[in-house]
């Protein structure tokens, strides 16, 4: 083995490792797990903040009319349904071995529902919170926190839809031959798999 080959050996190993898609898949899954944990915490935080700081028996600080508790009920219901739906999907996937390999489709449907669910809720709450802040209703910081968490949950679900959709599009792109072996050889010069195409 020449000095040049010894020098390039680590690069070749990394190229083969990355080319297998292992690193990318691990990073994507880790990112999704972190986002899922944050989303669960955010939904729980919405319920706790609303119940403890914005809502009492006859008072709600999520609108200009503090005697109207419907907005507080709506927020708690919004977050509770989201958590319950996530739990049900996780339970179904666990009981059916990831729906016999089709769990990803269920994840996309749940995330799509969540994006619409929280998008509608956040849009409505944004207007109500802005009006309450302009009217100097107490607990402004807690209201702002709830609306930020609502928009985060909408964004989380939107990202959860986009990640698998982009993966599917990439799969079909590879199947259709959009990336030729010659292009791959230029991207991975140390991968012997594409050496003949480059030649």
Name the residue among 154, 83, 85 with its Cα closest to residue 116.
154
- Token readout for 113 is 């529902």
Question: Would you give per-residue pLDDT tens digits along the chain (199 residues)?
Answer: 554 444 544 454 444 444 445 566 677 677 777 888 888 999 999 999 999 999 988 999 999 999 999 999 999 999 999 999 888 888 887 887 766 766 677 778 888 999 999 999 999 999 999 999 999 999 999 999 999 999 999 999 998 888 777 776 776 676 776 544 445 445 555 555 544 444 4
Domains in the chain: boundaries: 3-189
Distance CA 188, CA 80 (A): 48
pLDDT on residue 95: 80
How many of the other CB atoms lie within 10 Å of CB of 71? 22
DSSP states of 13-61: HHHHHHHTTHHHHHHHHHHHHHHHHHHHHHHHHHHHHIIIIIB-SS-BS
pLDDT on residue 177: 62
Whether 147 contacts 133, CB under 8 Å? no
pLDDT on residue 140: 95
pLDDT on residue 187: 52
Distance CA 99, CA 94 (A): 8
pLDDT on residue 48: 97
């Amino acid at each position: 083995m020449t000095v040049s080959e010894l020098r390039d050996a680590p690069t070749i190993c990394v190229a083969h490792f990355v080319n297998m898609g292992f690193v990318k898949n691990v990073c994507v899954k880790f990112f999704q797990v972190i986002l899922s944990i944050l989303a669960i915490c955010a939904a729980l935080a919405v319920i706790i903040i609303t119940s403890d700081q914005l809502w009492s028996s006859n008072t709600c600080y999520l609108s200009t009319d503090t005697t109207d508790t419907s907005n507080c009920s709506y927020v708690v219901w919004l977050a509770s349904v989201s958590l319950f739906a996530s739990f049900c999907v996780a339970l179904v996937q666990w009981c059916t071995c990831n729906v016999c390999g089709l769990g990803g489709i269920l994840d996309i449907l749940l995330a799509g529902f969540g994006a619409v669910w929280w998008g509608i809720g956040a849009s409505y709450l944004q207007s109500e919170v802005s009006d309450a802040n302009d009217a100097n209703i107490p607990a402004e910081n807690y209201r702002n926190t709830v609306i930020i968490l609502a928009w985060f949950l909408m964004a989380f679900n939107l990202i959860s839809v986009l990640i698998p959709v982009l993966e599917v599009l990439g799969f079909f792109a590879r199947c259709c031959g959009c990336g030729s072996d010659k292009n791959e050889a230029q991207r991975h010069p140390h991968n012997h798999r594409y050496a003949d195409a480059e030649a």
